[in-house]
A and B are shown apart, each in its own frame.
Chain A
Amino acid sequence: MSKMPQIQNRKELRAVLSSALEKNGDETEDLDFRKKLKTYVIESNIPEATSSSIKGFFEVENTEDRSLKILKANLNMKNPLRFYLDVSDQRFWKLHSLYDSIATEDVIKKMVEQNYSKLDFLWFSSNLLEKYMELGKQTGFGVKFKNKFSVEGNEEDIQDVSMRFWGGGAKEVIGDLRGNNRLVKGISLSSIGIKHSVEGGFTKENISNSGKFTVITGNSIDSHFSIVEKIKQDYSSKLKLIEEQRISVEKKDVGLNFKGSSLFIDFGKKLEDIPTFTEKLISATNPFRLAGTKEILNQNHVRVYALDLHSNDLLNIEITPDWMSISLGHKSCGNVVMRLLTNIQTHLTSEVKLMSVENERII
């Protein structure tokens, strides 16, 4: 596998990524190194990206710019992979890769998905992705739904939907699919395609629901930088709204100040088997990444005391047939709410909504 070019500063980063963009689609390139530019936005609770703060077989090398690092992944000692890691936003890292998807995703998963990594993907629910379609000209979408909570014997329940659509009018097609009563629960967007333009150029981007931006083609690296940043900022504002609801009790000069409140995920359909759902939720595995204990209060109400294995933060959950509540601790990372919402959408029903205690829709 070819090496990514050495860089020492942002000017060189720009030059390398621009050059890769120009070569996109050039079939004469080594197939193992197609130079399809990909940027992964990673949610981080690590204060500083260093070799010791990232768990696993990773090394972080500095460049001339403090906020631009080289991430060296030593998964295969003969061929360590080197990525460009932009940590200018401490909470949302941008990892740029010119390797093929399989190699890159193997590295990212190993880095992000290990327990207590303090790293997580971004989780774009369907309506966020649909909103992001408006940032450019729609060029397609992907749908992925895999029912992990189907009740045995319920053959009427939708099980698996997987499709990819390329072409204009994507939103209209999504709307038509949702018009089908049988399909509607499974129309969970896994990616969108948009043509994004800036002055002097464009990029055609494929944006996945886990925060991966792949440049399909284009002629402006600024367009890629711009779309990644716009979406990152929007996601950040959603996360801020969620984290404002973290629950805490503070002492005032007089009395106590009770801050925050629970958030609610409305399922949009009846959850038939709450015990099975709960088991999977706290099974300490992907995609939910929660461990914990449960109290079955009755057939229709379960309390969960959970630990987020991404951030090592505590949260309380209650599950009923129609909704689940999530109460974050006073320092808990809010990305768990995005992770739950998006994965419930992918594995239970696409019709989920994130609601505030005032019953206002957040996502």
Chain B
Amino acid sequence: MNELSSHTKLMNTVICLSTKSYRYCTPVLYENHYELETIECSFNMIAGGLIDADIILKNPQLNNLFILECKAGGLEKEQAKRYASLVHKDITNANITTLSGNFSHEITYLTDAENKDKLILGISENSLNFPVIYQNKDKLSLAFNSIKCPTLNKLFTDNGGVVIPENPPLIYYPFGKDDSDAHILNCIGPVLIQLRGQEFTVEDILFKTHRIYEHISDNAIKGLKGRLGKLINDLSKGEMNEFFNIPQSKPYSLKDFGPKGFQKKLESYIEKSNQSAMKETQLSLEGF
């Protein structure tokens, strides 16, 4: 159950498609000049209201900004209304893109097969006209409305959409707050070995594991810090307690241990966490 949440998987799939990831798939967004501009970006509109976009891609050739909102659930009405009222001046005023002049922008929702209908229903019911792309097995396909940029519209429509990798690389966005315990623990395991003999905060770990941590929105930071804090509390007070000291000045303190012993114990801890997650899934399926 080293499972990625739908949000993390969709984020990394788009990053993969917009960077030179030829080993994983044909990066069609990159090939069509859509480059990564920013990830987890928040900014205020001139009239007030916070925009908190998951991924922003830019196409300098078409002078188009493609804003993607990854959703693993239904529509958040207030957020959608803010997106609907977003105008060109808000973007230039926020200084979030290197595109200049009279560039266009469009907002598209990205979701998984499970949440597609719920999201489309929310958009329709609120008389909004955002396009929806969803993960249809091994493709990203346009499911609702059309994308203004003809290149993108064609890409996500023709031949059932864009072929995506089963497991995209996680270079810029290794984990999110909704990923499994096992996945997050695997990501932070080497950092804990690196921090042996030191006191540390949750933020210290996030700086080392999340390459974009310094640049993401306050909301995203809050979510990550909360999730990681709980995981490290569980580690330090539970089965991995033998590797922790009583902290003096920071919230956590690790003993100066050898890598092999820690690695072995953490592996077994992650395995147990996996098994318990599998049991929970089984029980919820039986209940269903």
Contact = CB atoms under 8 A, between A and B. Distances in A.
Interface of A: 115, 247-249, 251-256, 258, 261-262, 264, 282-284, 291-298, 301, 303, 305-307, 309, 312, 314, 316, 318, 323, 325, 327, 329-330, 357-359
Contacts of B186: 293-295, 303, 305
Contact of A247 (B23, B167, B171, B194): B171
B19 A258 contact: yes
B170 A307 contact: no
B170 A303 contact: yes
A291 B36 contact: no
B20 A357 contact: yes
Contact of A309 (B21, B259, B267): B259
A297 B180 CA distance: 14
Given A255-B38, A314-B190, A316-B171, A282 B22 contact: no
Contact of A249 (B183, B187, B194, B211): B211
A76 to B, nearest CB: 25
Given A252-B98, A292-B193, A314-B194, 11 more contacts: A254-B98, A256-B37, A256-B38, A291-B190, A291-B193, A293-B266, A297-B167, A305-B190, A316-B171, A358-B20, A359-B22
Interface in B219-277: 258-260, 263, 266-267, 270
B188 to A, nearest CB: 8
A254 B92 CA distance: 10
Contacts of A330: 211
10 nearest interchain CB pairs? A293-B189, A307-B190, A291-B259, A293-B186, A295-B2, A284-B259, A254-B95, A292-B190, A297-B167, A284-B260
B208 A314 contact: yes
For the complex, would chain B's binding face be called helix, strand, loop or mixed by DSSP majority?
mixed
| Range of interface residues on B (Cβ < 8 Å) | 35 or more
B39 interface: yes
A316 B266 CA distance: 18
Contacts of B189: 292-293, 305
Interface string B179-205: 000110111011101100000000000
16 contacts: A247-B172, A247-B211, A249-B215, A255-B37, A255-B38, A255-B96, A256-B212, A258-B36, A284-B258, A292-B190, A292-B263, A293-B190, A297-B2, A297-B167, A314-B191, A357-B21
A292 to B, nearest CB: 5
Contacts of A252: 98
A256 B215 contact: yes
B63 to A, nearest CB: 15
A251 B37 CA distance: 11
A197 B276 CA distance: 68
B263 A284 contact: yes
B171 A251 contact: no
Contacts of A282: 263
A264 B259 CA distance: 26
Contact of A325 (B23, B98, B258): B23
Contacts of A261: 19-20
Contact of A291 (B211, B215, B263): B263
Contacts of B183: 295
Contacts of B212: 249, 256
Nearest to B270: A293
Nearest to B191: A314
Interface string B110-138: 00000000000000000000000000000
Contacts of B37: 255-256
A330 B22 CA distance: 22
Interface string B84-102: 0000000000011110000
A297 B183 CA distance: 11
A57 B190 CA distance: 28
B214 interface: yes
Contact of A306 (B95, B170, B190, B258): B190
Interface in B6-21: 19-21
Contacts of B38: 255-256
A358 B266 CA distance: 36
Given A247-B211, A258-B36, A316 B193 contact: no
Chain B CB within 10 Å, residue with most, of A252, A255, A358: A255
Contacts of A325: 23, 169
A268 B194 CA distance: 33
A253 B169 CA distance: 28
A316 B166 CA distance: 18
A305 B171 CA distance: 11
A357 B20 CA distance: 7
Contacts of A284: 258-260, 263
B190 A255 contact: no
Contacts of B270: 293
Contacts of A303: 167, 170, 186
A316 B187 CA distance: 9
A316 B12 CA distance: 15
Interface in B151-186: 166-167, 169-172, 174, 182-183, 185-186
Nearest to A251: B215
Contacts of A305: 186-187, 189-190
